[in-house]
Amino acid sequence: MAEQAYTTDDPATRLGLFDFAFDHAPIGIALVDLEGRILRGNAAFARLVGLPIKKVIGTHFKDFTHPDDIDADMHQFQQVLQGRRDGYTIEKRYVRPLGDVVDVLIHVAAMRDAEGRVVRFISQIEDITRHKEHERQLAERAAQLELAMEAVRGGFWHMDIPSGKFETSDRLAQFIGGQTAARLDLERYVSRVNVNDGAQADLTPLISGELDQNVAEYRLDTIQGERWMRCDRRLLRDGDGRPLKIVGMAIDFTDERRRIEQLEESASTDALTGLLNRRGLVGEFAALQSADGFVVLALDLDGFKQVNDVHGHGVGDVVLCETARRITGAVRSHDLVARTGGDEFVVVVAGSRAAGMAAAERILERMRAPVLISGGSTHVRASIGGVWSAAKRDITGLINEADALLYDAKASGKDAMQF
């Protein structure tokens, strides 16, 4: 019997894609009714609250929210119900049954009927416990550095939101331009930020009041050359809660960054996706056995830069994790899957050329499905270059050959493969 074809225009297909993305998303997702009770949640959400999903259904989100965080969450929840906003983003804490606390970042969006009435909410929940611990450590360091400001490599800046006036401190200006440098305005400061890090330095979420504080990491051109800066930015509001001023402290953490990179280079897995990294791939490939040869697939995402530019790096990370899950699901358990760069992946199929081409086709097909993100979905595609070798050869050489074919696939129109 011929296989029936479906398109994303088909309602049943769209619903199936939503259900699949909902249930298998790497972050928690929950549907909430107008009273704040959980209607549906996925496995990642159940892990965050530390309860079986059946026990979560019907409970109010206040039941597992830290008592100190309930008022702020309920305030914004009520604002959406009152039509004052369409959604909100908030950091808060979940308290699990055994008492351990999980820091989460929640994006809440209202779902409306045809008449525009709010009928329920959809929430995306990210575990930011490690990030919060990182921020707490940074806050401790900042407090210590205040006692010895003369030793700080970096400095402060502030921005008045109503007037748009931005100004660095003398110390930060001197760190950037030397002892005689004048204070920098926003245009001159941003001109010093590495062009590839512009999204990280963006102040829009703070200016709009979406966030009250965040930490950005970006490269800055200084008198000492390009340095990695960690900038703690905090929003100050007026008496009516309107965004008033942003204050930031930029600290040079180049040495720490380099130590982290060295640790990552010595590891065998990718910290974001859990896949093998290049080092891990080399080691695993050395032990891989196959009587039918080996296929090396080099994969690159089409449209990923636009995702980062439009939605930010947080959504970009969601797309990378979903890509890793789709690729892994398209191959066998003993095949190798690695993330070797930003949006670059390598797959090694132990088997024939035909087996490798079939795996590539499955990956391409899976990557054509939309990726669910906060407030909707986004799309990326994949281009693949593939090489088959009857005998085991140097993995680096095989990857280079596959990379060359990958560029041919991109040149031919993308969303394609070249063997």
User: What does the pLDDT read at residue 150?
Assistant: 59
The 8 Å CB, 24+ separation contacts for 192-196 are 192/220, 192/221, 192/222, 193/218, 193/219, 193/220, 193/221, 194/218, 194/219, 194/220, 194/221, 194/226
User: What does the pLDDT read at residue 310?
Assistant: 84
The owner of tokens 């080399």 is 282
- Residue 222's CB is within 10 A of a number of other CB atoms, namely 20
Identity of residue 61: F
User: What does the pLDDT read at residue 1?
Assistant: 45
DSSP string of 314-379, one letter each residue: HHHHHHHHHHHHHHHHHS-TTSEEEE-SSSEEEEEEES-HHHHHHHHHHHHHHHTS-EEETTEEE-
User: What does the pLDDT read at residue 2?
Assistant: 47
User: What does the pLDDT read at residue 6?
Assistant: 47
The owner of tokens 């979905």 is 377
State CA 261 to chain mean position distance: 18
User: What does the pLDDT read at residue 183?
Assistant: 94
The radius of gyration of the chain from alpha carbons, rounded to an integer in Å, stands at 24
Contact by Cβ (8 Å): 246, 206: yes
Q: Find the helix or strand (DSSP H, E) in which 139 lies.
A: helix 129-146
pLDDT tens, N- to C-terminus, the chain (419 residues): 444 544 556 666 766 777 888 888 889 999 999 999 999 999 999 999 999 989 999 999 999 999 999 999 999 999 999 988 899 999 999 999 999 999 999 999 999 988 889 999 999 999 999 888 888 888 787 777 666 555 568 889 999 999 999 999 988 999 999 999 999 999 999 999 999 998 888 999 999 999 898 899 999 999 999 999 999 999 999 989 999 999 999 999 998 888 877 776 677 888 899 999 998 999 999 999 999 999 999 999 999 988 888 888 889 999 999 999 999 999 999 999 999 989 999 999 999 999 999 999 999 999 999 999 887 899 999 999 999 999 999 999 999 999 999 999 988 888 999 99
User: What does the pLDDT read at residue 135?
Assistant: 81
The owner of tokens 């308290």 is 95
Contact by Cβ (8 Å): 392, 418: no
Which of 215, 378, 410 has its CA nearest to residue 310? 378
Label residue 132 exposed, middle or buried (CB < 10 Å: 0-12, 13-18, 19+).
middle
CA distance 347 to 350: 10
CA distance 177 to 185: 13
pTM of the model: 0.42
- Residue 146's CB is within 10 A of a number of other CB atoms, namely 10
State CA 15 to chain mean position distance: 25
Active site residues: 343
User: What does the pLDDT read at residue 262?
Assistant: 78
Domains, the chain, with CATH or none? 11-127 (3.30.450.20), 131-257 (3.30.450.20), 267-418 (3.30.70.270)
CA distance 52 to 47: 8
